[in-house]
Amino acid sequence: MAYAITRTCCNDASCVSVCPVNCIHPTPGEPGFGTTDMLYVDPAACIDCGACADACPVDAIFPVDRLAGPDLPYAELNRRWYEENPTDHAWGEPEFPRSLPDGFGDLSVAVVGTGPSAGYTAQLLLRTAGAQVTMIDRLPVAGGLLRHGVAPDHQSTKRIGESFATTFHHPALRMHLGVTIGEDLTHEDLTAYHHAVVYAVGAAGDRRLGLPGEDLPGSLPATTLVGWYNAHPTVPADAVDLSAERVVVVGNGNVAVDIARILLTDPDELARTDISDHALAALRDSRVREVVLLARRGPEHAAWTRPEFLALTHLAGVDVVVADAPGVREAIAMAATSATATGAATGAEAKAALLAGLPVEPVDWAAAPPVGRRRIVLRFGVTPIELLGDARIEGLRVAEPDGREATIAAGLVVRSIGYRGVTVQGLPFDDGAGTIPHEGGRVVDPATGRALPATYVVGWAKRGPSGGIGANRDCARETVDALLDDAAAGRLHPPAHRIQDFASLVRHRQPNALGLRQWRAVDRAERARGEASGRPRVKLATVPELIASARRFRR
């Protein structure tokens, strides 16, 4: 019986490297790897060895005959992908571990960030180059996107963090938490103690709508709401008010879907996750009965991935409906017909065809949501033009494609139209793209087109907020390869100071900085709190709590 990859796939590609018959695609280097929703097993070529399931860091791979519930469709999705993308499973060119030239000595690299892209970068540097790695994070806790971005009901996705935790225990790795580059340390400080610096700072900013009323209370960026339910220490416990019956989320990507799902999931289900205590308490008292996902374009342009949307339709006690509007029924019917005729398992037709089984209903936007079951409403083809309210948000005015306007009554509006990078002092920044300009991972000065000496970028700060967690692995490989090429070519010069003295500089500049021992103490404390309440962990949610816990449990 063949295996199938299911909804929690992280695109890490760990499964690809262990498959003895190369029947998992797309592989790194193949077209579509960086943009695919997930990877797929070819059931006709699979030999049922189970190596992929053992290697999967997020437990996303199972024998087809064991699939059940929300995972049942994935046997067919895996099979149909190969109908659309036939392959002979030919092996690519072999890759060999990189190494430094003889006589180079110990390579020291600073990695700014502790999220997935930083974790993959550190792994490669430690395993292939024998480097000494210093990881630095502005927050007093490690994890980045895995800790503060992944939805709490996606606990299997968070298991990929276990491989990073192993990396963090490597004897050649040092960590300094609660240290901000540009305030506590400068880029020049890092280069003075290391051969090279890799920036893995993510995309912590948010994109604005640029509309009247956007700054009213009750208008939030997705970064705030996601940080709120994930115990981000910079987001206050009272940042989100759930006293409204209807919430509008502007956007229909995976983050928007996550927000809708968390707002309407039974709190008793969330109580088994690592959701923040303050969010769990607020959700228990929540009055939200309807979440509207607002999209400017039609259903054929939906931005969510198939796994995320399929999970949404299996949400217990929640109906998913499509708001009736001109052209919506026709677009869904056309996509369903096209997907059926072509057997499409991916692409625009396949995404819109997912809506074919959902009810399409007229919605009275001026009225309160209907009494009864909670619901998610998908509203396509409208453009927000103004957020309404006096003291706080009371609604959203939108424009229809035909020029008519409508008002959606809502007490909370969340803009989920994309993350964007933030500037790092001392580095160039592409304000339009929201990224650090680079060529193959080397940071470049846009004015001259020349690479900055010994300075690199990886992850969302490099390519923008696209791709899942696993996409950072291939991204990190490109950047580390560039760094090692520069080392081999003699472009990385010895640092002015010994790396062994860097910790003293950190302590002098930021006395509250935490190290690996303190981070491990926080991790133990959170896990202990979770064990006491039947949860994977109970997060400490503020900077003072994290620092106090680290010092209390210091060993």
Bridge partners for 103 per DSSP: none
Q: In percent, how much of the chain has pLDDT > 70? A: 97
- 330 is written with which tokens? 């026709």
CA separation for the pair 326, 400 (Å, rounded):
9
Residue 467: pLDDT above 90? no
Q: Give the pLDDT confidence of 208-237 residue by residue, as tens digits.
A: 999 999 999 999 999 999 999 999 999 999
Model confidence pLDDT, tens digit, residues 380-416: 999 999 999 999 999 999 998 888 899 999 999 999 9
pLDDT band at 314 (very low <50, low <70, confident <90, very high): confident
Q: What is the arithmetic mean of pLDDT over 11-40? A: 90
Give 335-382 pLDDT, tens digit per residue. 777 765 555 556 666 777 788 889 999 998 988 898 888 999 999 999
Q: Is the CB of residue 346 less than 8 Å from the CB of residue 26?
A: no
Q: Is the model's pLDDT at 242 over the cut of 70?
A: yes
93 or 91: which carries more pLDDT confidence?
91
Whether the CB-CB separation of 408 and 253 falls below 8 Å is answered with no
Contacts of 455 (CB under 8 A, 6+ apart): 187, 191, 196, 197, 199, 427, 442, 443
Residue 19, pLDDT above cutoff 60: yes
Q: Which of the two residues, 311 and 502, has the higher pLDDT score? A: 502
Q: What pLDDT sits at residue 344?
A: 58
What pLDDT score does 345 carry?
A: 58
Lowest mean pLDDT among 29-43, 182-196, 442-456: 29-43
Strand-pair category, 219-221 with 412-415: parallel
- Give the model's pLDDT for residue 399: 93
The band of 463, judged by pLDDT with boundaries at 50, 70 and 90, is very high
Query: According to the model, what pLDDT value does residue 396 have?
Result: 96
Query: Does the structure show a pLDDT above 60 at 553?
Result: no
Separation between Cα atoms, residue 396 and residue 384, nearest integer Å: 7
Q: How far apart are CA 332 and CA 269, in angstroms?
A: 32
Q: In this model, does residue 494 exceed pLDDT 60?
A: yes
Residue-level pLDDT at 555: 43
Q: Which domains are assigned to the chain? A: 3-84 (3.30.70.20), 108-204+421-513 (3.40.50.720), 208-418 (3.50.50.60)
Query: Over 80: is that where the pLDDT of 20 sits?
Result: yes
What confidence score (pLDDT) does residue 160 get? 87
Q: What is the largest CA-CA distance in the chain?
A: 74
User: Measured between alpha carbons, how far is 71 from 44 in angstroms, rounded to an integer?
Assistant: 19
Q: Which residues, at least 6 apart from 223, have a Cβ–Cβ distance to it below 8 Å?
A: 204, 205, 206, 419
**Mean pLDDT of the 102-131 span:** 91
pLDDT of residue 33: 84
Task: Read off the pLDDT of residues 134-175 as tens digits, 9 standing for 90 and up.
Answer: 999 999 999 999 999 999 999 988 888 888 888 988 999 999
* Prediction pTM value: 0.92
95-99, 246-250, 276-280, 382-386: range with lowest mean pLDDT = 95-99
**Assigned token pair, 9:** 């796939």
Say whether the peptide bond before residue 26 is cis (omega within 30 degrees of 0).
yes
Q: Cα 204–206–212 angle (5° rounding)? A: 155
Mean pLDDT of the chain: 91
